[in-house]
Amino acid sequence: MLFFANAVDAFLTYMGVTAGKIKEANPLMKNVVNDPILLFAVKILLPFTVIFIVLGFCTERSKDFSQITVFLLNAAIIIYASVLFLHAYWLFITS
């Protein structure tokens, strides 16, 4: 789910920025958004790395840590989904 949300978000962001309909507000992504290959690489590799690290901790730690991790991953999915819908909405109202 997280990868799908990131890929769609990258696509919508790239389309919106290149069409001049939206501007990238994230200062860390402003220089990345104009290069589609770099944008998709960052959007896919960053969550993959985070999930890989988190899953590594889950297998090595206690059940309590795993429950906290699941909660945080679910929160991340909700945040990503919210941003995704926000980008889709902005593109919809500006077209």
pTM higher than 0.95: no
Tokens representing residue 65 in the block: 């840590």
Q: Please give the average per-residue pLDDT across 13-32, as a whole number.
A: 85
- The closest alpha carbon to 39, from 4, 81, 7, 66, belongs to 7
In the block, residue with structure tokens 């889709």: 88
pLDDT of residue 60: 58
Q: Which residues are within 8 A (CB) of 30 and not within 5 positions of it... i.e. 6 or more apart?
A: 24
Q: Is the pLDDT of residue 14 over 70?
A: yes
The answer to whether the beta carbons of residues 94 and 17 sit under 8 Å apart is no
pLDDT tens sequence across 34-91: 888 998 888 888 878 877 777 776 665 566 666 777 787 788 888 888 888 887 887 7
pLDDT of residue 9: 82
CA 71 distance to own-chain centroid? 17
3-state secondary structure of 41: helix
